[in-house]
């Protein structure tokens, strides 16, 4: 069955006329949502802790900033753009007690709603607008007159207007210029976690690390191993992004293609392990493990961060990356540099 996709003419910004939208958090997504909605004519307030470093950053952009409780109390739509592990606590302590009757709750990821860590009462519309790109790209594309695609969903629709609000929000974000794909909180959450764990992060990262270790253990120079298993990956992913797997394969040599077709590294047993991981996502056991660890102060998470930050490939990587001028200096993407190195990235987890 073909996906339902909405575009620019399907959203009506007037739905948000006379409504106040509170954006909770001013990290990667928070700054993009707040600025794009503001520039689309929406009445926006940013909700932050008074001690947050992001307060001044948001004010510098001409945004109204208030403590979370005050922002929520006056809002008709509350978009929660906080890290997954903090949302339930903030909702219980600062959002729920101050939420106006019938105010809509919005999310950019379905984790807390799908797994039941946040359970709004039935009188609140609950919807999702999830950009398929980082916040600095969402903002950059909006400013350029374009947009980043989103996936959208409605979990609760007590008045029958939740979809109208969802599409109006997506239009104000600039997303309908590219398209909004209809999904559900369940589908978005489970597929997002699966993609992260088994292909994008838990797949690619570990594949690169294993390839580097196999080559260096066999006596090959670390610098050469890095180029072959890590550096060239970007080229391949860029080709996939441009034209799918077929363009990536077509662009490579016959030797590379034949090796691709005959490789046995990723096979049916890999899919079996993926299915196991998918079951853990579907039954909530992964979510529980993550949230329990976070509630205990994240000891396992911190241990793993420390462990994987010292992989052998990271000993040679910085030296080789410095060789490529496009990774350094003014030619680098300024927006990406700010997001990764600057004030937004440093504060988003704390909001």
What residues act catalytically? 109
27 is annotated as contributing to ligand binding: yes
Are 63 and 38 within 8 A, CB to CB?
A: yes
List C-alpha distances in Å: 143 to 6, 147, 244: 21, 9, 27
Beta partners for 48?
67
- Specify the residue for token string 């056991």: 285
Find the helix or strand (DSSP H, E) in which 44 lies. strand 43-48
269 is annotated as contributing to ligand binding: no
How far does Cα 328 stand from its chain's mean position? 25
- Specify the residue for token string 């903002």: 139
Are 136 and 338 within 8 A, CB to CB?
A: yes
192 is annotated as contributing to ligand binding: yes
263 is annotated as contributing to ligand binding: no
122 is annotated as contributing to ligand binding: no
List C-alpha distances in Å: 50 to 54, 85, 118, 288: 9, 20, 24, 31
Instruction: Count the neighbouring beta carbons within 10 Å of the beta carbon of residue 315.
Output: 11
49 is annotated as contributing to ligand binding: yes
52 is annotated as contributing to ligand binding: yes
* Dist. CA 246–CA 238, nearest whole Å: 12
Q: Where are the alpha helices (DSSP H) in the chain?
A: 28-39, 54-60, 68-73, 84-90, 111-114, 135-143, 162-173, 185-195, 204-217, 222-226, 232-250, 254-262, 268-282, 285-295, 299-308, 313-321, 334-341, 343-347
Binding residues for substrate: 253
Binding residues for Mg(2+): 192, 196, 228, 232
Binding residues: 26-29, 49, 52, 54, 135, 192, 196, 228, 232, 253
């Amino acid at each position: 069955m073909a996906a339902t996709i909405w575009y620019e003419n399907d959203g009506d910004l007037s739905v948000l006329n006379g409504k106040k939208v509170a954006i909770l958090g001013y990290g990667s997504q928070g700054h993009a949502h707040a600025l794009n909605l503001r520039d689309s004519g929406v009445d926006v307030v940013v909700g932050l802790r008074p001690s947050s470093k992001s307060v001044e950053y948001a004010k510098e952009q001409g945004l109204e900033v208030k403590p979370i409780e005050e922002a929520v109390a006056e809002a008709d739509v509350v978009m929660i753009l906080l890290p997954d592990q903090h949302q339930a606590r903030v909702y219980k302590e600062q959002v729920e007690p101050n939420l106006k009757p019938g105010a809509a709750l919005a999310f950019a990821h379905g984790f807390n709603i799908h797994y039941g860590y946040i359970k709004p009462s039935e009188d609140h519309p609950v919807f999702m607008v999830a950009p398929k790109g980082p916040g600095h790209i969402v903002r950059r594309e909006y400013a350029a007159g374009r947009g980043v695609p989103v996936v959208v969903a409605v979990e609760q629709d007590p008045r029958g207007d939740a979809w109208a609000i969802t599409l109006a929000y997506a239009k104000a974000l600039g997303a309908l210029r590219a398209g909004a794909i209809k999904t559900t909180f369940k589908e978005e959450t489970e597929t997002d976690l699966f993609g992260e764990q088994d292909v994008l992060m838990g797949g690619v990262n570990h594949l690169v690390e294993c390839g580097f270790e196999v080559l260096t253990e066999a006596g090959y120079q670390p610098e050469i191993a890095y180029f072959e298993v890590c550096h060239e990956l970007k080229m391949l992913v860029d080709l996939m992004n441009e034209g799918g797997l077929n363009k990536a394969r077509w662009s490579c040599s016959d030797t590379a293609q034949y090796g691709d077709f005959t490789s046995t590294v990723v096979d049916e047993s890999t899919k079996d392990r993926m299915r196991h991981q998918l079951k853990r996502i579907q039954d909530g056991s992964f979510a529980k493990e993550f949230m329990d660890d976070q509630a205990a102060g994240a000891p396992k998470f911190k241990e793993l961060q420390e462990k994987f930050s010292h992989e052998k490939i990271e000993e040679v990587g910085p030296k080789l990356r410095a060789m490529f001028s496009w990774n350094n200096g003014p030619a680098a993407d300024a927006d990406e540099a700010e997001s990764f190195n600057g004030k937004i990235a440093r504060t988003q987890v704390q909001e």
